[in-house]
Amino acid sequence: MKSLTLAVVVCLLVLAGRQGSQAEENRGAVFVMTNAASNNQVVAYNRQNDGSLQLAGVFSTGGNGSGGTIDPLHSQGSLILSADHNLLFALNAGSGTISSFAVEGSRLRLLDSTSSGGSAPTALTQIGDLLYVLNSGGNGNVSGFRVTGSGHLIPIHDATKPLSGDATSPTSLAISPNGRFLIVAESATNSIDVFRVLPDGQLSNISVDASAGAVPFALAFSPDGVLVSANASNDISSYWVGWNQTLTTISSEVPTLGMATCWDVVLPNRRLVYTSNAGSSTISGFAIRRNGSLTPIASTVVASNPTGSTNLDITASSDEKYVYTLNAGTGTIGIFAVESDGSLSSLGTVGGLTASSGLNGIAAY
């Protein structure tokens, strides 16, 4: 009887340990890409219940980044998670490849590395089993892939399309929530490109629309299809995408009151969008109204990083409780709690990254 009781206790302890481990894995994670010119890596962090981060590991992408100092990729979306958080996709600008990983809590397992269909890939977007990459080398192009159940990438025939012309300096791309449109920002031409995504994943010919704000940089969609663009002219715009591949401006140039506004993140359930203003080390916040218009939260600037942070990419946890910024100037991650009114409260930073080393790309769940 004593032996049986002891066995039951041991089993209960083992089960509790497994449940605790599973809860640890499911709490969330944050990933940052080093973009190193030799042996590009992804640095992974466990996300705790209070939003704080603990280093979990460093994982090689199997390729090379571009190297550099501050924002060498000049893009948003070089590191993205699938919607179900089971896959992570990373770009290797120096190798011209895309790496896919299985996400196991905060651990990563490299699954595949595939040619990007162009040179100097800088941004990604994904929905369902479709993934598109923005290649900024040469005249630039977009290229499409089918994501298999095992996380491998298969090029889609006739899903590689050129951009509007020469020297477009493309910076980001986004696919609409209904999967019907692929949108690209061209910062040098002040244009936003619209491609129709066909049922087989192929792309239509390009339609080029003028951007409402100068130097469109980062694109993101709300769940009901409002396209939001953070513009390097230090403002933010919103649009409806028409079936004829044209854009209708909703909010034209809403000031961010920050400097070097170049990145954004949408919190879909709360209909909030935050911009990362690298020049002023600040974050601006806006509500996305039902009609697609953008309204500043409070006095617009809702949070600040320490001076000199040069916060580039920005992301949010999947429960929308926390926002994280990649502070390339200091080699840190800024941590912010999302308050009920949409304002952000700083929870400090976590270090350990190399400052001014070419860091690009941050993703979280």
pLDDT tens for the chain, residues 1 to 365: 444 333 333 333 333 444 444 444 458 999 999 999 999 999 999 999 999 999 999 999 999 999 999 999 999 999 999 999 999 999 999 999 999 999 999 999 999 999 999 999 999 999 999 999 999 999 899 999 999 999 999 999 999 999 999 999 999 999 999 999 999 999 999 999 999 999 999 999 999 999 999 999 999 999 999 999 999 999 999 999 999 999 999 999 999 999 999 999 999 999 999 999 999 999 999 999 999 999 999 999 999 999 999 999 999 999 999 999 999 999 999 999 999 999 999 999 999 999 999 999 999 99
**φ and ψ at residue 10, rounded to 5 degrees:** -60, -45
Among residues 305, 347, 349, the alpha carbon closest in space to that of 49 is found at: 347
pLDDT score recorded for residue 132? 98
pLDDT score recorded for residue 137? 95
Provide the CATH topology of domain 113-350. Answer: Methylamine Dehydrogenase; Chain H (2.130.10)
pLDDT score recorded for residue 100? 98
pLDDT score recorded for residue 210? 98
Residues near 107 by beta carbon (within 8 Å), at least 6 away in sequence: 44, 56, 57, 59
pTM equals 0.93
Q: With contact defined as beta carbons under 8 Å apart, do 344 and 337 qualify?
A: yes
Tokens in use for 76? Answer: 């948003």
pLDDT score recorded for residue 268? 94
Place of tokens 């002219």: 233
Helices of type H across the chain = 2-26
Distance CA 232, CA 227 (A): 16
Decide the pairing of beta strands 261-267 and 272-277.
antiparallel
Angstrom distances, CA of residue 167 to CA of 30, 78, 136, 190, 351 = 33, 20, 9, 12, 36
